Amino acid sequence: MTAASPAGADPHPITGEVLARLASTPDARMRELMTALVRHLHAFAHETRLTEAEWFAAVSFLTAVGQTCTERRQEFILLSDVLGLSMLVTDQNHPAAPGCTESTVFGPFHVPDAPRFELGADIGGGAAGEPCWVQARVRGPGGEPVPHAEIDVWQADAEGFYDVQRAELGHAQARGVLRADADGAFRFWTVLAEAYPIPTDGPVGRLLEATGRHPWRPAHLHFMIAAPGYERLITHVFRRGDRYLDSDAVFGVRPSLVADWIRREPGVAPDGTRRDAPYWTLDFDFVLNPAVAPAPARPEEIPE
Ligand code: BEZ
Ligand code: FE
C-alpha cells in the first residue's frame, strides 16, 4: 500500500479504479449518482486524512442512526435535516416562482389520514396551549382564489410535543385536514405554536451536542396544501419574534414564512364566539405555484 498522499494532492489511484468499475452501471441516473458519491466520499477521506478510528466511529454512528429508526421515528431523516440536506433538496426541487409561497422541510411528524374538520372547527383535540384562531386564504400567482384546496395542518403543543410523540395518547391532537371554501379561504381553532427541541435522545442529539449546536426549532405551524392545477405546497408559518428564527436546528426558516401571531384580549372572536380568556390570531395568505406542465410528447408518441 502506498503512503497516504497529502491533502490537496492527486486523488488516490483507487478512486479512479472505483469510478471505472461504476462506468458500466446500466441506469444512467444511478451511474451519475454513484459516480458523484464516490468522488465526493473519496475526496472527503483524502482531504481530511481520515483515520481508521474515525472511519469506524462514523460507521458506528450510522449503525446507531439505523437502529434508532422505528415505525414512529426516522432518525436518518433527522440526520439529513440537521445537516441541512433536507432543506437543500427541498429548495432545489421546489423553487417558488416570484410571489409564491416558499416551501420548507416536511419534518417527521406528519400523519397520513389525519381527522377531517369543518371550517371553523377546533383541531386542538385537547392539546396543551393557549387558544389560537387561524384564518388564511389560498391563491394562485395572479391573485386568483384557489377554491376547495385541501389543507393538512399539524403542530406541536405548548410542551413542545406532537401527538405522535405521546405514546399514551391514542388520538390525534393539533392536526387535521380541512377543505378551503369556494373563495380559497379556510379557518380553524388550534393552540398557540411554541418553539420546541427536535428529538435529542438518539445519535443525532449526540451529534448536535458534539458540534456545540442547540436542538431548537422556532415556533411554527406545518401546512400541506393541494389543489388541482397547482404544485402541492409543503411549508410552515413561523412566529415572528421567536428567539430561534436565526438558528433553526434544521435550517427551515425563510423570511417570507414569518408572520405575526397577535394576542387578543377576551371578547368576541373573529368567528363570532365569545372568549373568556385571552387568545391569539394568525392571518396568512398562501400563494401556490402553478403545476409543472407535463413534458411535450415526443414525435413518436403523437398519434397520426
Ligand atoms: C418539525 O418541524 O416537525 C421537524 C422538522 C425536522 C426535524 C424535526 C422536526
Ligand atoms: Fe414542526
As a residue count, the chain comes to 304
Tell me how crowded residue 4 is: count the other CB atoms within 10 A of its CB.
13
- Taking only the tens place, the pLDDT of each residue in 19-67 is 999 999 999 999 999 999 999 999 999 999 999 999 999 999 999 999 9
Euclidean distance between CA atoms 232 and 97, whole angstroms? 13
Kindly state the cell numbers that stand for 63: 449503525
User: 273-304 in b/e burial notation, b at 16+ Cβ within 10 A?
Assistant: eebeeebbbbeeebbbbeeeeeeeeeeeeeee
- Taking only the tens place, the pLDDT of each residue in 204-257 is 999 999 999 999 999 999 999 999 999 999 999 999 999 999 999 999 999 999
Q: CB under 6 Å to ligand 1: residues?
A: 78, 81, 105, 107-109, 198, 217, 250
Q: What pLDDT is stored for residue 205 in this prediction? A: 98
Every domain of the chain with CATH number 2.60.130.10 lies at 77-287
What confidence category does residue 299 fall into, taking pLDDT thresholds of 50, 70 and 90? low
Residue 301, pLDDT above cutoff 70: no
User: 60-74 in b/e burial notation, b at 16+ Cβ within 10 A?
Assistant: eeeeebeebeeeeeb
Q: What is the Å distance from ligand 1's center to 235 Cα? A: 11
Among 104, 250, 251, the mutation site with the greatest number of ligand 1 atoms within 8 A of its Cβ is 250
Kindly state the cell numbers that stand for 236: 410552515
- Strand-strand pairing, 175-179 and 267-268: unpaired
Among 82, 103, 105, the mutation site with the greatest number of ligand 1 atoms within 8 A of its Cβ is 105
Full-model pTM: 0.90
CATH 3.40.50.1100 assigned to domain 77-287? The reply is no
Q: What pLDDT is stored for residue 292 in this prediction? A: 78
